[in-house]
Amino acid sequence: MIETTRGPGLLEAARAALPGMVTIRRTLHRRPEIGLELPETQRAVAQRLEELGLAPALGRSVGSVTALIEGQRPGPTILLRADMDALPLQEDTGLDFASEIPGAMHACGHDTHVAMLLGAAQLLTERREALAGRVLLMFQPGEEGYHGARFMLEEGLLDVGNGSHVTGAFAIHIGNRYENGTINYRPGPLMASGDTIRLTVRGRGGHASAPHLAVDPITVAAHIAVGIQTMVTRTVDAFDPAVITIANISAGTTTNIIPETAFMQGTLRTVSAQQRSAVRERLPGFVAGIAGAFGATAELELEPGYPVTSNDADICELVAADAAALIGADRVRTLPAPIMGSEDFSYVLEKVPGAMVFLGAAPAGVEPESVPQNHSNMVVFDEPTMAVGAALYAGVALRHLAIS
């Protein structure tokens, strides 16, 4: 590989491109969009790609954008991904570029992801002679619970043609829980699967003064909520964990009526496909058994969410090596355990070996534990750190294509 494509030279080039990244990041931050259709964001991304001499392709069923950077020599394709959607949240940061859209905010840093990947696109188009293959840029909507990556795959995201195959995938997620400017990663499970639990308990209504003449669904729901925790601790391997949280229970209308039904909902998280499947198979019988013991019934709905986000060990090694060349080995940290949040880049990693890492972006000089975190209405990210992200996107692509 050409030496100027990695290490300090690439990071210096990214820092020179930082003003442009800040501009587009702030443009997107002012105009956040939620879900699968992001028309303003899509136009802004496509326009910047065209300015770089690329040919953006717009999604057919969702508001996605893709583009290919063609290298000077033939070879495989690496996918680089940035998510673009915002959260339904009212921003209270007081920034002079704060959201202008009521009830919408880029509180998870997806605006910085877009800016970093566009910065990387600039670095890579300037270094086409070093590319032995192609770089597929993936700008996706609907990461925040809308399965945007899955829709893009169904549209043929990985069908790049010309005899080339996508042999690697890489994504960066910014975060305030990590020290500024560090890269944080782990091989294997990085983030959990996330399924939604909805449960309706049906009993028999009656007067609150005569519970023996009714079947109280609230009592049954309480036993189910507590019993599920016992099920987890007594049937799930502690070294292959599962988390079930019942986050909402609603029932009844007043003080002297036992209602007929109680509704519960929550989340199931695991860090392996095997445990996810096992718990999903076990839960219906467990819930039905508790309800039946009280003479009630329970209707359980398990809505599949994102799969486990699992990093490929070889890609992780490549990313760590490139990150160390960029910022120093002491700034590259291995995470001790998976994170129980979920991420739809998992759909891509089920198809292609790849990795996601976390870029620390707590404001400089501030302890990460003391600042508002991702998904907070007060979260603020350190913009200069975006240069590290852009350089890493580009460096990983160059390194992967050089050794493939």
**Active centre residues (catalytic):** 306, 383
Output the six-digit token pair for 349: 């990693």
Question: For residue 247, is it left (φ>0), alpha (ψ between -120 and 50) or beta?
Answer: alpha
Residues in the chain: 404
Gap between the Cα atoms of 404 and 136, Å rounded: 15
Judge whether 134 and 77 are in contact, CB under 8 Å: yes
Residue type, 49: L
Residue 267 contacts residue 245 (beta carbons within 8 Å): yes
Give the whole-angstrom CA distance, residue 149 versus residue 141.
8
| Residues 196, 305 contacting (CB under 8 angstroms) | yes
d(CA 114, CA 46): 11
Chain CA centroid to CA 163, Å: 30
The kind and range of the H/E element at 322 are helix 313-327
Q: Per the structure block, which two tokens stand in for 176?
A: 């305030």
> What is the distance between the alpha carbons of residues 46 and 25, in angstroms, rounded to a whole number?
14
Query: Cα 297 from chain centroid?
Result: 36
DSSP class per residue in 64-82: -EEEEEE-SEEEEEEEEEE
Q: What is the b/e burial string over 168-199, where b = at least 16 CB atoms within 10 angstroms of the residue's CB?
A: bbbbbbbbbebebbbbbbbbebbbbbbbebeb
| Angstrom distance (rounded) from CA 399 to CA 403 | 6
Place of tokens 């890269």: 183
Each as own residue / partner, the long-range contacts of residues 5-8 (CB below 8 Å, 24 or more positions apart, any chain) are: 5/127, 5/130, 5/394, 5/395, 5/398, 6/322, 6/325, 6/326, 6/395, 6/398, 6/399, 7/325, 7/326, 8/326
